Structure 1
Amino acid sequence: MGAGHPDDAHPHLFRAASASQFSAFTNRHGETMTRTQTGIDRRRFLRLAGASAMAMAAAPVLASCATPGTDESTIRLGALFPVTGTNALLGEESWRGVQIATAMRNTAGGVAGKHVEMVFADIPDVNSATSEARRLVFNRNTKIGLGAYGSSLGLAASEIYSRTGNTYVELGAVSEAITARGYENVFRFNPTAKDMMARHMDFIEGYLADALGKPISELKVVMAHEDSSYGQSLVELAAPMAKDIGLANFRAEAYNAKSTDLSSTVLRLKNLAPDVVIAVSYAADAVLLGRQIRDNNLRLGAFVGTGGGHSLASFQQALGPVADGVFDVDYAQVHIDPSYTPGIDEFVQEYRNRFGSDPASGHSMANYTGANLIFDILEMTGGDDDPVAFAEAAREMKREPASTTAGWGFELDEKNQNTLGQMFVMQWNGSKLETVFPPEAAVREPQLITPFGL
């Protein structure tokens, strides 16, 4: 999944248009979508010759009703995000970031003198991610796909783009599996789950141990995590990292995110008497766990969320002042040193203009940053979206840390993973989730406030 995870109980931020309605949606923002019939060009056909039998069987039917891909005046890219279903909350937030990046780039003259058009697909589940990726490749003739917030969704969509000889760029999902398959034309620009857990360990080493007055070897840390693959995968990453920094007293406590009573988990935590709790939660269980820590009078030195429910405004709204002091590791949020995140003020203002509020999470800014990196690469190719040209330019492009709106740098490794993306530590202060670590990006110093205290 992505760095934050929604819950069914949360209303949609907005209802995006369906695929059939999207041309009208984009027209309101100056992104005209044509319906002219065309076939797949010869160069594309030769690349598709090596695709899987399934994809080749579908190609003749889909090509017969295909619309134009990139041409001399327009760059067309496929954008795949879940805006309905259980992933809609942060899927829509991610899509908003891409929309803002596209509109702002077009206002500034486009990419290599070409207008940028995002051909949208709603992918609420894995099956739709697969079918919509096929539609965007064959029917809409897009050579570059981007998305997708959820790791399972990104894995499915990228499989189609890669097997048909095209390019896929992940902008939000954090599972290591996205780039672990070694596909030549699958890229990821955002930081990963491993980066997230590394930031947890940095924070323990660089702040919490000293602030709590204990050497790392004596610090007790419990990772309370929901028991799906999301939580378990992060525990598997955290355990060896904890050992590497000398955190001898590290253990995990699993719970069911759908439980309506987490008091047994809280009692186990109370018996363990940890100095620090690292939590991996969705939205509803994040609130429930916080309430029951309060109700059972569990006193902790520090509580650190891992994206998910602890990043959402709904978490603070549900708990009120007792959320003050809770830390969270996630993508950059809007309360961060603007000198470390150039362009953040313009991004936030554009978000407000379009959607009437501040960003709901860091996902919009992460996807905004990722989309702009794609546009920068396409500038280098002269607007050519050919997979070979894009890959060569992507591997050549370099950006220093703190040079993008999300605070990332950019340099790809041998698996096409951006090695200079990073996560940050924030802390709830009233309704603001303020960046407190690392110091160079912080708006203030972290404070040890008893989490969920009365």
Structure 2
Amino acid sequence: MKKLISLVIVALIALLSACGGANQTSGADKGKSSETLKIGAIFPLSGNLALLGEESYRGVELAIDQANKNGGVAGGKKVELIKGDAPDPEAAQSEANRLITQQGVKTIVGSYSSGIANAASEVTERNGVLFWEYGAVADSITDRGYKYVLRTNPPASYLSKMHIDFIKNYVAGKLGKNLGDIKVAIAHEDSSYGTTIADEAEKLAKKEGIQIVTTQPYSATSNDLSSIVLNIKKAKPDVLIVVSYLNDAILLHRQSKELGLQVPVVIGSGGGHDMSDFIKGVGDIGNGIFDVAFPQYLINQDFTPGMKEFIEMYKEKYGELPRSGHSLVHFMGTKVLLDLIDKVGEIDPEKLREAANKYKVEPGKTVTGWGVKFDPKTGQNLLSQPYVHQWVDGKLYAVWPENVAVKEPQIKK
């Protein structure tokens, strides 16, 4: 009997040892990149930029959720998203260092904000880590000659070009004026976002012979823009280009109404102008305002395949409709990255950059309608494009160019 009990105890010890060993092996395997692929994400999730920062992050999260649900990438590997909160450039550098040194990530995505993107990408470049930008627009992000930077979204110069093209090819005719007689005013917040778009718009307008009658920079944190409004009113423009974040956009348009500023054509530049919170904040004042921006949701879905599915996924996960197109473009950019990882089979910055240089998608084949073709010298996607939208009855519709439009632009002379 004693012998039998001893045998049972030995067997139990052997079984427990085997289980412990199996668990240890499984835990070790989980940490290996062959099982889980880590992607870092840097966004302003707190502070003044948090609203659009969070909206942008949601797009990344949805793309990775979708990939994992569909079996992963690169032969069934799951993707783990490790986020970092960067409300300002200093925090962006700190978070980039943390993700690289402590988490061991080899690629980082972001970031919505140009200041954050510039700061984070300095760190990734020094460390040979690939940085993917999906939403920040400053041209400097891809103009510095960095090897490890790729951007899927259009830069500020593309937005400025769309402003001028729209004025030249549509607005002037509808106002019944020659291009040289059109008077344009620009109001912009004074960070790299607003300054870059405004400066480029001025250059392009000058080339076309369009008059810029006044340019009014201001701080996005200002609580009084009446002097800006009065200066614009004095200049009597036919067109007002506005580059703003959310709160300053609402303030500017409210004070324009209060001070009697009337401009036939007002064109926003993404940022606050394409958020549902903007129209809530300005009410009927917003109807008729144009917005040159990333693709929004009331758009020709024949040119943006997958749009309906994206909206459904968003609503299911977050319990509301998307708040702006920022989540959409970050979803699209992450889909490109995941596709490249799937082709390469791992997260290797050198291999991914090489694969990206050969990657090609025609316009009208992605959820944003953008094509994909990276410039080998800069990492900029040459086939991305902003569109012109307009607020009509509290909704933001794509109106120009024709391949994305679901409504005609409405201009009152």
TM-score, normalised by the number of residues in structure 2: 0.89
Residue among 47, 66, 90 paired with 1:104: 66
AA of the residue aligned to 2:53 = G
**Counterpart check, 1:95 vs 2:57:** yes
Q: Does 1:286 align with 2:249?
A: yes
CA contact (8 A) 2:139 2:196 kept: no
Partner of 1:445: 408
Tell me the distance in 1 between the aligned counterparts of 2:39 and 2:119.
17
Alignment of 1:214-229 (within 5 A): 214-229=177-192
Residue matched to 2:277? 314
Whether the aligned pair in 2 keeps the contact of 1:410 and 1:420 (CA below 8 Å) is yes
Find the partner of 2:397 among 434, 437, 453: 434
Structure 2 counterparts to residues 60-209 of structure 1, below 5 A? 68=31, 70-71=33-34, 73-113=35-75, 114-209=77-172
Would the alpha carbon gap of residues 159 and 70 (structure 1) be closer, same or farther in structure 2, given more than 3 Å must change? Answer: farther
* Cα distance between partner residues in 2 of 1:227 and 1:164: 31
Structure 1 residues 337 and 140, CA, compared in 2 at 3 Å: closer, same or farther? same
User: Structure 1 69/246 Cα, relative in aligned 2: closer, same or farther at 3 Å?
Assistant: farther
More helix by proportion, 1 or 2?
Answer: 2
Residue 399, structure 1, aligned to residue 373, structure 2:
no
Q: Aligned AA for 1:155? A: N
Q: 2:313 aligns to what SS in structure 1?
A: helix
After TM superposition, give the deviation of residue 424 of structure 1 in Å: 1.0
1:304 maps to which of 254, 259, 267: 267
**1:75 CA drift (Å):** 1.9
Conservation of the 8 A alpha-carbon contact between 1:401 and 1:407: yes
Which structure has the larger Rg over C-alpha atoms? 2
Note the residue ranges of structure 2 that are not aligned, 5 or more in a row: 1-25
Larger CA deviation: 300-309 vs 261-270: 261-270
Q: CA 1:182–1:228 in 2, change beyond 3 Å: closer, same or farther?
A: closer
In structure 1, how many angstroms separate the alpha carbons of the residues matched to 2:303 and 2:261?
A: 36
Paired residue secondary structure (1:439):
coil
Distance in 1, matches of 2:138 and 2:306, equals: 28
The one of 349, 357, 363 aligned to 2:312: 349
Distance 2:115 2:405 in 1: 33
Q: Is the 8 A contact 2:213 2:235 kept in 1?
A: no
State whether residues 111 and 136 of structure 2, in contact with CA within 8 Å, keep that contact through their aligned partners in structure 1. yes
What is the root-mean-square deviation in Å for CA atoms of aligned residues?
A: 2.0
1:200-220: per-residue Cα shift (whole Å, max 9, x none)? 111111211111111111101
Change (3 A) 1:69 1:438: farther
Aligned length: 387
Maintained 8 Å contact 1:329/1:424: yes
* SS of equivalent residue, structure 2 residue 122: helix
Answer yes or no: is the 8 Å Cα contact 1:218–1:249 preserved in 2: no
Q: Is contact 1:97-1:366 (8 Å) kept?
A: yes
Q: CA deviation at 1:322?
A: 2.2
Spell out, residue by residue over 1:84-132, the C-alpha distance to the aligned partner (whole angstroms, 9 max, x if none): 1222111111110011111111222221222122122222222322222
Gaps of 5+ in 1: 1-34, 39-66
Q: Structure 1 residue aligned with 2:297, among 299, 317, 334?
A: 334
Question: Which position in structure 2 is the counterpart of 1:365?
Answer: 328
Pair 237,37 (structure 1): closer, same or farther in 2 beyond 3 Å: farther
TM-superposed deviation, 1:74:
2.3
Give the partner amino acid of 1:444. Answer: K
* Counterpart contact for 1:217–1:249, Cα < 8 Å: no
> One-letter code of the match for 2:271?
G
Paired residues of 1:224 and 1:280 also in contact (CA < 8 A)? yes
CA distance in structure 2 between the aligned counterparts of 1:111 and 1:368, rounded to whole angstroms: 16
The 3 A distance-change label for structure 1 pair 184 and 254 is: closer
CA contact (8 A) 1:69 1:142 kept: no
CA contact (8 A) 2:111 2:117 kept: yes
